[in-house]
Structure formats: structure tokens, C-alpha cells
Amino acid sequence: MKFGTKVIHAGIEPDPATGAIMTPIYQTSTYAQSSPGQHKGYEYSRTLNPTRKALEDNLAALENGQFGLTFGSGLAAEAALLHLLDPGDEVISTNDLYGGSYRLFTKVFSRYGIKFQFVGMQGTAEIEAHITEKTKLIWVETPTNPMLNIIDIEAICAVAKKHNIMVCVDNTFATPYLQNPLDLGADVVMHSVTKYLGGHSDVVMGALVVKDEALAEKLYFIQNSVGAVPGPQDCFLVLRGIKTLHLRVQRASENAAKIADFLMQHPKVDKVYYPGLAHHAGHETAKKQMRGFGAMLSFNLKEDTAEAAAKVLEKVHYFTCAESLGGVESLIGHPASMTHAAIPREERLKVGLTDSIIRLSVGVEDADDLLADLDKALG
């Protein structure tokens, strides 16, 4: 199936009981058994639920994987993967990443003897310099949040394979419409389903997708044992949202490209971070591993202060000042005080995340209205 067909049909069949085209919301916690241990494949909804199963199969197909797992949030999905590690294990992570991931790594799992190292991944030399016999996982986010750096997934996976290290790629920004890390050698793909997959700012969820059955079985065990699973209503909403994923991401990406060009010419803007721009350091890598440049971009102001950024966020109308991203509506945020507040300022500045950085999640509105909105806010 081509991608536009997968979002509608992959892993989804008419309901066998009624023929319903849309996967029903199986709002049940338990299932009848004809005899102890004799059931129709379902016994308890923490372990498996038909609505969730349809979504997990659909997500696996979209990422060209074999096994999908969903969780109550993106961070719950990350935590499940980290539960594969033992005290003393080491993780090499992107140094420009979502603040919640950084907090989970440094404030929660580091307490259990797991060591995290944050490095730039614009080449493989720095990664290889940090690999030890204890390195068990390389955590990749590309495009990165919020600096929109591009990491060469294939090159990272080649290094990891030499050392028998697992690679997980956070594919939230790109979505499976634009990028498929498993095809480039990754072992695990992670999504904050809350974002583009759900697409309508009405659900919180996370997901993991893998190809390897043995790895999948370990993760299913953790999913069931820890129990951070989503409910069937949320799974239904995501299944519905995914059906228009390709249409939404395509339109939003087209809008983002126009906005990036506009910001490049604005006298109050210092730098624009968007992989679709020819001067972007990761532009050629993005062209190689992505099918488009996405709808996320960041920029900073010549007046490089949090106060100057706040004034812009206060003046927009169609862009809403809010956390999150990936909905049909355009959002604007100040990473230093919002999504990345958990990262110390000195660490933020190392990757270029200055006090005036503004992050845009471009939606599917008319591009002219969005451009006029930003022009007015920038004054």
C-alpha cells in the first residue's frame, strides 16, 4: 500500500460483530471466558483491547514495522523503553532534545544508576568517542526540538550496529509521512502521538514501533506490567486523526516553507531554523532521509531577550501561545520558559537555544492569514 492508503486501511478491518467501518470504541475492562483461560484473544484491557490493537497495528504499518505499542503519553513510551536497561548501563542522547525527555533521563532514570551523555550528533566522531562497553542505547531526535537540527539516522545506526547498541529515533516532528527511521536502520521508533498523529490537540498518547519480535515481546511485557496504557476512547480519536495525516502534514509543511521565507526577510529576525532552507546545515541530509521538511520551525530575534519574545507571543491572533504542536491550528511558544524550561539555561545556550528563540508549529490555515499575523506581531 502507498502511504495515503495505509492511513485509511492498514491494520483496520470492518468490525466482525457488526460490519462497522470505523473501529468501535471497546469501552470495557474485561472479557467473558467460556472456561478459565479460554477466551477470544482478550482477557483484560490493560493487556489488550480491540480498539488499541487496531491502532497499534496501524502505527506499525505506517512506520514499516511489525509491532506497535501505545502508551498513556509520549514520556510513558520513553519510560517503557528505558525499562529495558539495567543499573550501570549508559545512554548517548542528542544534546538538543525535548525538555521532558531531558527531565525524564536526568531526574528519574539517572537515579537508578543509568548514565546519560548528551552530545552533538552532526557527525559520528563525537558519538564514537563516548561509546563504552556499557553503552546500550543511542537516543536520536531528528529534526531536533527546538533547534531543528538534522541527524543522519543511517550514519548513526551504522556506528551503533558495529558496537551492538540499540538505536531509538523520536520521529514526532517528522511523522511517518516524511520519515521512516526503521528503514534507515533504527531498532525502535518513538512518537508522541499527542502531536501530528492525533493531529487535533484532543488526546495525549505515546507509541513505540519495532521490527524485531524478541524486542517487541520484551516491550509488550513492560507495557502490560507497568500498565501505562491509553484508553479506547483516545485510541479511537487517534485512529480518526491518522486518516488525514498525509493531508494535514503536507499542507502544514507547505505553509511552514512560506513562513520560513518570510521570516528570513524580516528586519527584526536574526536567524531562522528550518531544514527546508538551503543554507541550513542539515538541508542535504534532510533531503536524503526525509520526503519533506515538516511544519516545525524556530527563529530568534535581533533583540535577543525573553521580554522581546514575549511581546511577539502576546500580539499574535491566529497563532495560539500554547504548549505542544502538530495540531491543525498554528501554535507559537517560547521554549526557554515553556517546553524546555526543565533544561538549565547554560545547557540550552550550548545548543543555541537563546532567550529569544520562538518555536512555531505551523497549522493548516490559509498561509496568507498566518503571514499577516506574524507580520503584525513582529511589528
Q: Tell me the per-residue pLDDT of 136-183, one tens digit each, with 9 for 90 and over.
A: 999 999 999 999 999 999 999 999 999 999 999 999 999 999 999 999
Q: Average the pLDDT over each of 14-23, 178-187, 362-371 and give the range with the smallest value.
A: 14-23
CA 345/CA 341 separation, integer angstroms = 8
Residue of 26, 52, 98, 274 marked catalytic: 98
Active-site residue 195, yes or no? yes
Per the structure, the complete domain to which residue 350 belongs is given by 245-378
pLDDT on residue 203: 98
- Would you state the cell numbers that stand for residue 144, as one nine-digit string? 531536533
37 and 150 both lie in a single domain: yes
197 and 340 both lie in a single domain: no
154 and 302 both lie in a single domain: no
Q: Which residues contact 262 (CB under 8 A, 6 or more apart)?
A: 371, 374, 375
pLDDT on residue 351: 84
376 pLDDT above the threshold of 90? yes
39 pLDDT above the threshold of 90? yes
Q: Which residues contact 209 (CB under 8 A, 6 or more apart)?
A: 59, 60, 63, 65, 67, 68, 69, 182, 188, 189, 191
The last residue of a domain, from among 240, 265, 288: 240
107 and 27 both lie in a single domain: yes
Mean pLDDT of the region 268-272: 98
Residue of 15, 31, 42, 46 marked catalytic: 46
147 and 261 both lie in a single domain: no
13 and 158 both lie in a single domain: yes
55 and 147 both lie in a single domain: yes
Nearest in space to 301 (alpha carbons), one of 239, 343, 354, 368: 354
CB atoms within 10 A of CB 352: 15
270 and 350 both lie in a single domain: yes
Contact 23, 236 (CB under 8 A): yes
pLDDT on residue 352: 87
pLDDT on residue 350: 85
226 pLDDT above the threshold of 90? yes
**pTM of the entire predicted model:** 0.96
pLDDT on residue 324: 95
What is the domain-level CATH number for residue 178? 3.40.640.10
347 pLDDT above the threshold of 90? no
Active-site residue 86, yes or no? no
What is the domain-level CATH number for residue 325? 3.90.1150.10
The last residue of a domain, from among 192, 219, 240: 240
pLDDT more than 90, % of the chain: 94
pLDDT more than 70, % of the chain: 100
75 pLDDT above the threshold of 90? yes
Residue of 53, 136, 195, 359 marked catalytic: 195
348 pLDDT above the threshold of 90? no
Number of domains in the chain: 2
The last residue of a domain, from among 201, 221, 240: 240
Mean pLDDT over each residue of the chain, to the nearest integer: 96
Mean pLDDT of the region 249-266: 98
Q: Tell me the per-residue pLDDT of 334-343, one tens digit each, with 9 for 90 and over.
A: 999 998 888 8
Residue of 96, 152, 170, 187 marked catalytic: 170
187 and 286 both lie in a single domain: no
pLDDT on residue 202: 98
Contact 211, 69 (CB under 8 A): no
